[in-house]
Amino acid sequence: MAFLNAGDTISGKTATATLTVGDTREELFYAKKLEATVEKKKTEVPVLGQRQVAHKANGWSGSGTLTIYYMTSYFRQLMYKYISTGVDTYFDLHIVNQDDASSVGSQTVILKNCNMDSVMMAKFDITSDDALEEEIAFTFDGVELPGQFNAPQAAVGGN
């Protein structure tokens, strides 16, 4: 019987992330969590002689959230630039998942033309003992996949 080799799963703690605006690169060492999703856009297609409605993909939309520790003004500066000048900032997010303990290797994803939806401009919480954090919602309109995981190999064994 084949089964998952638990050692090949990827630890979320071993990722790296960088943000690129033009020629400027920002290491996101203060990032806590990132999730980016592509959602396909579909058109309903009624078909003669069938009761169900078929669907045809006709595009996609990308969105995500970046959760960071509240310890940098970088994103507030980008939003303030938009507020004060009307000039918006687009950036690329470069994410690498690599766990040296896993045989599946690494995966690199680049989210292109990211644009922030919202930024927390100020925050405090006197009731919490936890470190302050903030969530930045964004959209993106391009994806590159320059590095992909190796195919996982099933472990074989049994009792």
Predicted confidence band of residue 156 (pLDDT cuts 50, 70, 90): confident
Please give the pLDDT value at position 159.
57
> Which H helix or E strand runs over 118?
strand 106-118
Please give the pLDDT value at position 100.
92
Asked if residue 145 belongs to a domain, the reply is yes
- For the segment 33-46, the average pLDDT, to the nearest whole number, is 98
Q: How many domains does the chain have?
A: 1
Query: Each residue of 68-89: b (16+ CB within 10 Å) or e?
Result: beeeeeebeebbeeeeeeeeee
User: What are the φ and ψ backbone dihedral angles of 86, each rounded to 5 degrees?
Assistant: 85, 0
Tell me: the pLDDT tens digits for 8-28? Answer: 999 999 999 999 999 999 999
Burial class for 65, CB neighbours closer than 10 Å (0-12, 13-18, 19+): middle
The first and second tokens of residue 89, run together, are 């900032």
Asked if residue 41 belongs to a domain, the reply is yes
**pTM for the whole structure:** 0.90
Please give the pLDDT value at position 109.
98
Which residue segment(s) compose the domain that 82 sits in? 2-47+54-152
CATH number, domain of 106, equals 2.30.110.40
Does the structure show a pLDDT above 80 at 157? no
- For the segment 67-85, the average pLDDT, to the nearest whole number, is 97
Asked if residue 158 belongs to a domain, the reply is no
Tell me: the pLDDT tens digits for 43-72? Answer: 999 999 999 999 999 999 999 999 999 999
Tell me: the pLDDT tens digits for 90-127? Answer: 999 999 999 999 999 999 999 999 999 999 999 999 99
Asked if residue 113 belongs to a domain, the reply is yes
Asked if residue 157 belongs to a domain, the reply is no
